[in-house]
Structures are given as C-alpha cells and as structure tokens.
Chain A
C-alpha cells in the first residue's frame, strides 16, 4: 500500500497509519484495489496534553495511583506518547461478506494541511468540513471549505483541548 507507515492491531481492529502527504494515494488504493467502497466516518482527535496534567479527560498524577491521596486513581501507567498533535481516523467499510473494516489514520500538526478525500468518497464533504470546524484541520482541495456547525465568523475550534468549556462570551444588552 502506498505511504504505509505502520499497521496496528488492537481490540480486533486494524489501523493503517499512512504518511500524511500520501493520504490521497493510499485512499485510492484502499478503495480501488482493496474494495473499501464505503467511508463510514472521519474522526479527528486532538492529543494536546495527552500525557500531562490539567487537561480535560485527565484525573490523577503521572506517577500513577497513590492510595493515600484522593483523586489519584488515574493512570496505572502513562499513555504511549503521540508523534503529532492531531490524528485523523478514516473509518472504512467493505460492503461484502464479512463486512471488513479498517481505520486509515494520518497524523498532522497544527496548521498543517491534509489532502481532501472528497474526490475518492463524496461523503467526505461534510465530515471534512466538520473536522475543520471543530478541530481546525485544513483540507487541501476541498471544494467548499467552510465551517458547518458553528457560525461562519466563529473564532476558534471548539473541540480542541485548549478551547475552554464555557468559552462563549456572554453579551448583555446595553453593553458596547
């Protein structure tokens, strides 16, 4: 497969990590040669602060569990570090006997563009717009690269880990 970096097997699921600049090539190969004709979902994940403290999704200390201190059940061990900040997981399905599924994964840093897969699977259109809107990942070659769930003039990307909860400024009448 073009651009293949790593194959991971876990929980009965196969993850194919590919070199980000060769994503489009890999996607075409998966669709045309390996028969994954159905793109189920694109899930973007922000790994900012993945193995450190004080981010959402984390309770506990890096040292692990200490029964004498409350709220330290957390990690029995630190999670495996990630090479880059964002992962993009394309969940593919082959519509045939056995329903084979595979996760095509590409890793990007903040501001780094990814090739759009709208030309391979038209359904990627809205999924990519959602990843841009909520995670701030840019897609090169997307025909309609706009926000989808938030307003067009929205600032920031809400599902990023550094976007605060309750981050929407509240305006009161009479305020400038």
Chain B
C-alpha cells in the first residue's frame, strides 16, 4: 500500500476572508479574466445535507469564490414556540435538529427548569445523560454514514444505519417513539424507565465498540479516504475560535474544549470520559474526533447504566408536574391540577436565562425569556450548525471542487437547525 500523502502544516495567521467573514470573494484579476464559472451547488443536491445552497465560483477545478445561502428550511420554530404553553413548546425543540433531537429537548427543558428553580431527581438526571449520549452516537453515526457515502464509501452507510437502528429501537423502548421522543419533561422524565431497557442497552454497549472497530477497519487505512480527507479544509485554532466554532470542528482544530467537562451539567462531573483533541484542523481530524467521541459516549452510557440511581423520576411539584395518572380517579385536587396544567399550562417566573449543552454538533444554547406567564416570551436557539456554516469560506481556501463535498460534510450541519 502506498504511503499516505504528507499532511500540510496548519497555516500561520488568519485565513478568514475580509471584509465579510463568511464569503470568499472572487479576486478582481480573476473576475476580469472571463475564465470563471459560477455554479449553484444546491439547494437540492443529495450531498448538501438538506437544502443548503452554495454559490461557487470555479476556476477550472479550483474553488475561487464561495457564498453559502441558507433559509430554505426556515419554519419559524421560535415564533411558534411563543404561541404555545411551556409544556407544549417542548415538542418543538427536538424537531429543530432532527438528528440530535434529545439534546435539543434537553437544553430547552434545562432552561425552563433554571427559571423555575426546580430540583430534578438524580434518576432523571442520569437517564437524561444516558439518552443524550446515545443520541450523540446516533448523530455521529448518521454523520459518518452520509459523509462517507458522499466520498464514495457506500457500504459504510449501511453499517452505520444498522447500528443507528438499534439506538432508535432503544428510544422506542423507552419513550414509544423512535425519533423526537419528547421523553424529557420539565422536572424530570415523562415516565419511568421500562425494566426491559437495561438489558437491551447493555447488549448495545457490548456491541457498539466492535461496530466502531469495523468502521475504522473500513476507512482508517483506506488510501482513497485518506487522500480525500487529510490536509483538506484546514481551519486553524485561532480562526476556529474567532468564527465561533464548537464541538468536533473546534476539537479537530486543536482546542481542548468540551462543555461537558468545562462547565459540567447533568452528572458529567461524576463519570469518567476523555475529550479527544486533534491538532491538524482538517477533515480527517474532525472524522477522528467523532470516532473517538463515539467510543467515549459508549463508556458514559455504560457507567450510567451501572450507576443509574433508583427513586423518583420526576420532581414532586404539583404546580408544574402532571399528577400521577392513578390519582386522577380518586383525588379532586389532582384532577384540577391535571386540568390546569394541560389547558392553561404552568407559569414560569419572570426572567431571562441562557443555558448551553454540548450537543453532537457543539455548543447548543437556548436563550429563554419569560414574562411570568404560561407561555415563553422569547425562545432563541444558538444552533451550532448555523455557526459551523460560517466557517465554510475559511475552510474552502485553495480547495478543489471535489474537496467541497468533503469539507461541507465534515462540518456536520443539519439544515433544520441552521434555518430553524
């Protein structure tokens, strides 16, 4: 087997285009040369992960100009959430990023709980962490399958989706839904964990590391994969921070930063895991970060399974949490509370909070304003995919048109989240 090409050194200084950081502008010399072809890449192209449009100026094979156009999937989630009670708004959050649904659900629920100052029982906290990590594996599997597919590795897609299906089976077992589970409730979980879940999840924990071995054996030393990913789409450490990058993109650029460790939420300070960091800042580094993150997530799931505490799965606060179903037939007060919470919804004290979690794509933030009423005044999501697309112009410097697909894929954007 031939040796892999030597990887270019990460550049000195900044490559962020100026004056517009997100647009690579065509130089005047090239513009007047009449040798440049402007191509619309997307919005309907299978390699754009949804409806992303890139207006690309090509000089032969080389990308000399680039602007990303987004908004084709704008559905007004944030506006809609203002019309719904807090209780009903939870269903909107997972649909924003339909690949890492549980993390989106989690960040919104955490924000509401912060305003309410409600204590969540440990069983719910640990289960949330477990599901968030399963969801991270799910999201990385979808990324790996599609990103490899775009570079020609078709079989990878089938293997990844095989394991993804097992995760969806676990979600179905817990919540009754395969996606958009709405299992996180303000105050805890919607229902107790079904007993069969632990055995099934333990089987998955045993299986998954071998599956990751399989993926790595397919591409890790594959000459085509290496040549198409190494030294492509460079992003330096300083540029990544200036462009607000987070998650695997940031860690692939050599920044040792993970919110799960830097500002622990849920029970992340009580579990043992490693944060993979790669210095090269190329597509391959981002791929490696995601692969190792899957292994670490499996470890966290394993620890959570063993240490999941018993007890209540939701807080006992009758003004916020639905009363137990069986009480509705015997207790008048419970029936009234149930009726009030379902029809009017619960009120949340006035205030504003900004809560962040480490989603599979990076720093996922939720800014919530309440006026003290039963509906949110304003909900704003800090979508890591939206920010990741700002880095396309910087990554795409000196890239060829074939690299474009690898680079956009490596940023792992979900358009639902970009456009909200």
Contact = CB atoms under 8 A, between A and B. Distances in A.
Partners in one complex: yes
A77 B347 CA distance: 12
Given A73-B347, A122-B21, A56 B82 contact: yes
Given A38-B241, A103-B354, A149-B71, A57 B19 contact: no
Contacts of B376: 57
B387 A50 contact: no
Given A57-B375, A58-B375, A123-B390, A148 B244 contact: no
Contacts of A45: 352, 369, 377-378, 380
B375 A46 contact: no
Contacts of A123: 21, 242-244, 387, 390
Interface string A101-122: 1010000000000000010011
B382 A149 contact: no
Contacts of A101: 263, 354, 356
Interface in B65-86: 70-71, 74, 76, 78-80, 82-83
B352 A89 contact: yes
Contact of A75 (B241, B352, B372, B419): B372
B390 A125 contact: yes
B350 interface: yes
Nearest to B73: A149
B373 interface: yes
B367 A79 contact: no
Contact of B244 (A38, A89, A151): A38
B340 interface: yes
Contact of A41 (B20, B70, B382, B419): B382
Interface string A48-75: 0011000011111000000000010111
A150 B365 contact: no
Contacts of A59: 344, 373-375
Nearest to B389: A126
Contacts of B197: none
Contacts of B161: none
B114 interface: yes
A59 B340 CA distance: 13
Given A74-B374, A125-B22, A126-B390, A159 B79 contact: yes
Interface stretch (B170-178, B199-207, B254-262): B254-262
Given A11-B353, A148-B70, A149-B419, A143 B19 contact: yes
Contact of A50 (B78, B371, B374): B371
Given A45-B377, A73-B347, A148-B70, A121 B372 contact: no
A123 B245 CA distance: 8
> In which size bucket is the chain B interface?
35 or more
A25 interface: no
A99 B375 CA distance: 31
A141 to B, nearest CB: 10
Main secondary structure of the interface of A (DSSP, over half): loop
Nearest to A129: B22
B366 to A, nearest CB: 9
B241 A95 contact: yes
A57 B373 contact: yes
B79 A75 contact: no
Interface of B: 16, 19-23, 70-71, 74, 76, 78-80, 82-83, 114-115, 117, 241-244, 255, 257, 259, 262-263, 340, 344, 347, 350-354, 356, 363, 365, 367, 369, 371-378, 380, 382, 386-387, 389-390, 419-420
Given A13-B354, A60-B374, 12 more contacts: A13-B353, A37-B241, A40-B382, A45-B378, A57-B83, A58-B371, A59-B374, A73-B340, A91-B365, A91-B382, A123-B244, A123-B390
29 contacts: A15-B352, A40-B244, A40-B365, A40-B382, A41-B354, A41-B365, A43-B380, A45-B369, A57-B371, A60-B374, A71-B344, A73-B374, A75-B372, A75-B373, A93-B363, A99-B259, A122-B16, A122-B21, A122-B242, A123-B244, A125-B21, A125-B22, A125-B390, A126-B22, A126-B390, A147-B71, A150-B74, A158-B79, A159-B78
